[in-house]
């Protein structure tokens, strides 16, 4: 999705620390990071450290439980008082949706991209329907309840991190009392209260949330927060919570029978409709028989550009489009809409749709502080791990794609492709949760680099988050900017397919690489590294003491001897002779790019040309066409692409 420039932003209000009291005994440790920070950040962080101690003592909540819950909500970040996508504020993610949320276009409701991605019907862009008044669920109004319990104003709970922590402690204590449990010093006695704190209305979601919190408590965590200091929670490996408390929470039981999810997440079936309407038209997906009929090779990560209830409303509209799963920000709850065997319309490229599963995450691309919660990251990682294992999908960035990595299928579609989840999705943390951290795999002469900046420290300038052309607030990012020379004053790399000059716009992916992507090294100069990118030599800063990429090795493609360049494609379709009678041959049309001789690009899969013919409501006419032509998927620019195997040779990256 191209992030909206109309999403309002909030600035942090005045910050004051609550009084410090003695801490409740626990295994939690709060550690300062050596080194000075700006005075405001230091004051805020010191206030936050003391706030956990004070709130634990005042509300008789074990300090480790308070820290564990806060980690799962925000990873202890304050976000400068800005709300998350669900109106959650501060390190405890106290929700005040009415104060925070505003209408915004849904993911597939604007721009020119046809989410189905084959031109078989006109693009579907119905307007988002947001009820003017509706009762908000309890999970979206925890801040008002915290205000009642603490006597603190809603504004203070939103903008003062220490007050926010106190509000979270008060909610936990109230949940413990409601369950008839004592305010025990033992973290094991708080499982039910933690489950209730999630705001979930079903036992599976609440249990998954509580299990994640107790996993954090057992393993421990530490990180540098967005205020520049380190917080650490000591591990309690022998902690065994009283999970029997869950039965006393009174939460409903989910029916999981139709879902395709791991047992470690909460998941419910909310089907996207397969319905015929109009003059032979239908929606909002196609029936299939995957993986028997064709393999599932990709998982595509999206953000919703809308809130949970709005998104569920849209995916149940037969005149709209579809995706396989939606993930909720507050607690990581998952709704499945389309079976893996069927083909959802989500990626804007029919070839990718036919070979992929799409996951929508509640969030906004252009609003970095409409943040993705740790609960959602963890739930998503579990789902992706499960799907990757089930369908034999490699856990790398040429198979786990952002929507912004999906290529336009034809030249005319390149400029309209979506750009979510965008520069603020934390790919490095996500792949750590997947159990596939981006580690060096070679020395300096391996021939490849894996992009891996430090998310918090990497803060390239973007524009257009709020107002077109105006700078976005400084923020951590997964993406690294590319220049035409080893000089930040040189021109940005141009994407000829877009037909416009490159800009630092938050939706402009022409001159950006993303964490986890791999490229062949073209040159080095001091603290700069050049890679082959879109047929050009592209430079990025890569200082030795704080590198933005690590060295790697692997396989690359380069044009066959005698060829000056080879065409690049946005889809891997069969040759015309492969199509049976009754199935119209699809054009094998190159994109407006060339892969020149002497350049190298990282190889993903070796693929047969393949096309899924599905343009009617009845699946009787559906066909999978497989040709003799073979392709290689490559990391060509910010997006992946395809080249014909007959045009290239595959060689090791080193040597």
Looking at residue 624, what is its pLDDT? Answer: 98
Task: Among 189, 212, 242, identify where a domain stops.
Answer: 242
251-308 pLDDT tens trace: 999 888 899 999 999 999 999 999 998 777 898 999 999 999 999 999 999 998 888 8
Owner of token pair 């084959």: 118
Considering the domain architecture, whether residues 204 and 347 belong to the same structural domain is answered as no
Q: What is the dihedral of CA 209, 227, 475, 369, to 10 degrees?
A: 40
Task: Among 484, 515, 545, identify where a domain stops.
Answer: 545
33-68 pLDDT tens trace: 222 222 333 334 457 888 999 999 999 999 999 999
Q: Predicted confidence band at 152 (pLDDT cuts at 50, 70, 90)?
A: very high
Among 228, 223, 213, which Cα is nearest to 66's? 213
512-523 pLDDT tens trace: 999 999 999 999
Helix, strand, or coil here: 595? strand
pLDDT at 4 over 70: no
- Going across the sheet that includes 623-635, the strands are 590-596, 565-569, 640-644, 623-635, 601-613, 555-559, 648-652
Cα 295–Cα 300–Cα 306 angle in degrees, nearest 5: 140
Q: What is the rounded distance in angstroms from the CA atom of residue 109 to the CA atom of residue 305? A: 9
459-509 pLDDT tens trace: 999 999 888 899 998 999 999 999 999 999 999 999 999 999 999 999 999
Among 10, 131, 76, which Cα is nearest to 373's? 76
Considering the domain architecture, whether residues 153 and 173 belong to the same structural domain is answered as yes
Mean pLDDT for the stretch of residues 309-333? 93
Looking at residue 111, what is its pLDDT? Answer: 55
Distance of CA 139 to the CA centre of its chain: 22
222-258 pLDDT tens trace: 998 888 878 999 999 999 999 999 999 999 998 888 9
Note whether residue 616 is domain-resident: yes
More confident residue, 478 or 133: 478
Which residues lie closer than 8 Å to 545 by C-beta, 6 or more apart? none
Considering the domain architecture, whether residues 281 and 332 belong to the same structural domain is answered as yes
Helices (H), 121-257: 142-150, 154-159, 161-178, 191-197, 203-219
The strand pairing partners of 633, in sequence order, are 642
Q: Please give the tally of structural domains in the chain.
A: 4
Among 531, 518, 515, 510, which Cα is nearest to 603's? 518
> Which region among 97-106, 169-178, 298-307, 600-609 has the lowest average model confidence (pLDDT)?
97-106
Q: Predicted confidence band at 385 (pLDDT cuts at 50, 70, 90)?
A: very high
Note whether residue 105 is domain-resident: no
Note whether residue 3 is domain-resident: no
The two three-digit tokens of residue 100, written as one number: 């925070």
Considering the domain architecture, whether residues 280 and 339 belong to the same structural domain is answered as yes
Considering the domain architecture, whether residues 604 and 634 belong to the same structural domain is answered as yes
Taking 3-state DSSP, the helix, strand and coil percentages for the chain, each rounded to the nearest 5, stand at 25, 20, 55
Task: Among 406, 426, 446, identify where a domain stops.
Answer: 426
Considering the domain architecture, whether residues 273 and 300 belong to the same structural domain is answered as yes
Q: What is the rounded distance in angstroms from the CA atom of residue 43 to the CA atom of residue 54? A: 16
Considering the domain architecture, whether residues 422 and 342 belong to the same structural domain is answered as yes
Q: What is the rounded distance in angstroms from the CA atom of residue 313 to the CA atom of residue 365? A: 20
Mean pLDDT of the chain: 89
Q: What is the rounded distance in angstroms from the CA atom of residue 571 to the CA atom of residue 585? A: 14
Looking at residue 126, what is its pLDDT? Answer: 54
Owner of token pair 């900046």: 453
Domain that holds residue 622: 558-652
Looking at residue 122, what is its pLDDT? Answer: 66
The two three-digit tokens of residue 149, written as one number: 């319990």
Q: What is the rounded distance in angstroms from the CA atom of residue 305 to the CA atom of residue 286? A: 24
Note whether residue 9 is domain-resident: no
Q: DSSP E strands: which ranges in 270-413? A: 275-277, 281-283, 285-286, 298-303, 325-327, 334-336, 343-344, 356-361, 400-402
Q: What is the rounded distance in angstroms from the CA atom of residue 587 to the CA atom of residue 193? A: 59
- Going across the sheet that includes 400-402, the strands are 267-269, 334-336, 325-327, 356-361, 298-303, 400-402
Q: 649 φ, ψ to 5°?
A: -120, 150
Considering the domain architecture, whether residues 280 and 205 belong to the same structural domain is answered as no
Looking at residue 110, what is its pLDDT? Answer: 54
Note whether residue 432 is domain-resident: no
Note whether residue 226 is domain-resident: yes
Note whether residue 286 is domain-resident: yes
Looking at residue 49, what is its pLDDT? Answer: 81
The two three-digit tokens of residue 137, written as one number: 């669920």
CATH label of the domain that carries residue 210: 1.10.530.10
66-125 pLDDT tens trace: 999 999 999 999 988 888 878 899 999 999 877 655 444 556 655 566 788 887 766 655
Note whether residue 569 is domain-resident: yes
CATH label of the domain that carries residue 318: 3.40.80.10
Q: What is the pTM of this model?
A: 0.90
Residue pair 305/507 in contact (Cβ under 8 Å)? The answer is no
Among 69, 72, 35, which Cα is nearest to 52's? 69
Considering the domain architecture, whether residues 263 and 361 belong to the same structural domain is answered as yes
Among 407, 405, 396, 398, which Cα is nearest to 423's? 405
- The secondary structure of residue 54, as a DSSP letter, is H
Looking at residue 22, what is its pLDDT? Answer: 32
> Which region among 127-136, 402-411, 533-542 has the lowest average model confidence (pLDDT)?
127-136
Looking at residue 226, what is its pLDDT? Answer: 87
- Would you tell me how many other CB atoms lie within 10 Å of the CB of residue 242? 14
Looking at residue 121, what is its pLDDT? Answer: 66
Among 529, 375, 364, which Cα is nearest to 452's? 529
557-586 pLDDT tens trace: 999 999 999 999 999 999 999 999 999 999
Considering the domain architecture, whether residues 385 and 460 belong to the same structural domain is answered as no
Considering the domain architecture, whether residues 492 and 592 belong to the same structural domain is answered as no
Considering the domain architecture, whether residues 485 and 372 belong to the same structural domain is answered as no
Q: 445 φ, ψ to 5°?
A: -105, 20
Among 358, 322, 1, 317, which Cα is nearest to 129's? 317
Cα 421–Cα 417–Cα 425 angle in degrees, nearest 5: 10
Looking at residue 277, what is its pLDDT? Answer: 86
Looking at residue 16, what is its pLDDT? Answer: 29
Q: Render 281-301 in DSSP notation, one character per residue.
A: EEESEE---TTTSS---EEEE
Residue pair 511/502 in contact (Cβ under 8 Å)? The answer is yes
Mean pLDDT for the stretch of residues 433-448? 96
Q: What is the rounded distance in angstroms from the CA atom of residue 366 to the CA atom of residue 355? A: 28
């Amino acid at each position: 999705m191209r992030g909206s420039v109309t999403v309002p932003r909030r600035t942090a209000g005045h910050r004051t620390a609550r009084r410090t009291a003695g801490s409740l005994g626990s295994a939690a440790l709060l550690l300062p990071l050596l080194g000075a920070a700006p005075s405001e950040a230091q004051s805020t962080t010191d206030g936050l450290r003391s706030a956990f101690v004070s709130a634990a003592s005042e509300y008789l909540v074990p300090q480790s439980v308070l820290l564990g819950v806060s980690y799962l909500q925000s990873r202890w970040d304050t976000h400068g008082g800005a709300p998350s996508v669900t109106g959650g504020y501060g390190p405890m993610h106290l929700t005040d949706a009415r104060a925070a949320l505003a209408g915004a276009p849904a993911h597939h409701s604007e721009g020119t991209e046809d989410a189905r991605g084959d031109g078989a019907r006109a693009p579907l862009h119905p307007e988002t329907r947001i009820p003017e008044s509706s009762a908000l669920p309890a999970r979206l109004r925890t801040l008002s309840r915290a205000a009642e319990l603490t006597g603190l104003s809603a504004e203070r709970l939103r903008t003062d991190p220490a007050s926010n922590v106190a509000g979270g402690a008060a909610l936990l204590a109230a949940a413990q009392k409601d369950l008839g449990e004592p305010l025990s010093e033992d973290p094991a006695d708080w499982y039910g209260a933690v489950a209730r704190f999630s705001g979930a209305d079903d036992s599976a979601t609440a249990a998954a949330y509580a299990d994640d919190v107790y996993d954090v408590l057992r393993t421990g965590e530490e990180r540098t927060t967005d205020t520049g200091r380190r917080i650490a929670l000591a591990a309690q490996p022998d902690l065994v919570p009283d999970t029997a408390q869950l039965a006393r929470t009174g939460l409903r039981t989910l029916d999981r029978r139709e879902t395709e999810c791991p047992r470690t997440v909460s998941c419910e079936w909310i089907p996207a409709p397969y319905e015929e309407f109009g003059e032979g038209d239908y929606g909002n997906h196609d029936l299939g028989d995957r993986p028997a009929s064709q393999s599932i090779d990709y998982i595509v990560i999206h953000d919703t550009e809308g809130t949970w209830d709005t998104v569920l409303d849209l995916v149940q509209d037969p005149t709209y489009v579809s995706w396989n799963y939606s993930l909720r920000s507050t607690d990581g709850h998952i709704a499945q809409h389309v079976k893996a065997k069927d083909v959802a319309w989500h990626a804007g490229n029919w070839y990718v749709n036919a070979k992929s599963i799409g996951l929508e995450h509640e969030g906004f691309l252009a609003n970095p502080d409409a943040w993705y919660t740790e609960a959602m990251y963890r739930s998503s990682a579990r789902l992706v791990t499960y799907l990757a294992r089930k369908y034999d999908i490699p856990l790398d960035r040429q198979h786990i794609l952002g929507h912004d990595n999906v290529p336009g299928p034809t030249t005319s579609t390149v400029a309209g492709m979506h750009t979510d989840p965008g520069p603020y999705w934390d790919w490095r943390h996500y792949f750590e949760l997947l159990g596939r951290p981006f580690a060096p795999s070679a020395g300096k002469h391996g021939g490849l680099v894996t992009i891996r900046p430090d998310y918090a420290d990497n803060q390239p300038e973007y524009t257009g988050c709020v107002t077109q052309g105006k700078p976005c607030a400084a923020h951590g990012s997964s993406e690294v900017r590319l220049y035409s020379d080893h000089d930040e004053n040189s021109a940005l790399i141009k994407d000829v397919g877009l037909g416009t000059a490159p800009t630092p716009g938050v939706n402009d992916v022409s001159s950006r690489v993303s964490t986890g992507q791999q490229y062949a090294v073209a040159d080095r100069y001091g603290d700069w590294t050049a890679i082959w990118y879109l047929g050009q030599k592209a430079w990025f800063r890569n200082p030795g003491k704080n590198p933005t990429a690590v060295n790697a090795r692997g396989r690359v493609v380069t044009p066959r001897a005698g060829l000056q360049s080879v065409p690049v494609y946005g889809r891997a379709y069969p040759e015309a002779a492969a199509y049976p009678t009754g199935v119209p041959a699809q054009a094998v049309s190159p994109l407006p790019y060339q892969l020149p001789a002497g350049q190298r690009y990282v190889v993903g899969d070796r693929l047969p040309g393949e096309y899924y013919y599905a343009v009617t409501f009845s699946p009787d006419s559906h066909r999978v066409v497989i040709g003799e032509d073979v392709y290689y998927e490559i990391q060509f620019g910010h997006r992946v692409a395809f080249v014909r195997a007959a045009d290239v040779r595959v060689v090791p990256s080193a040597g």
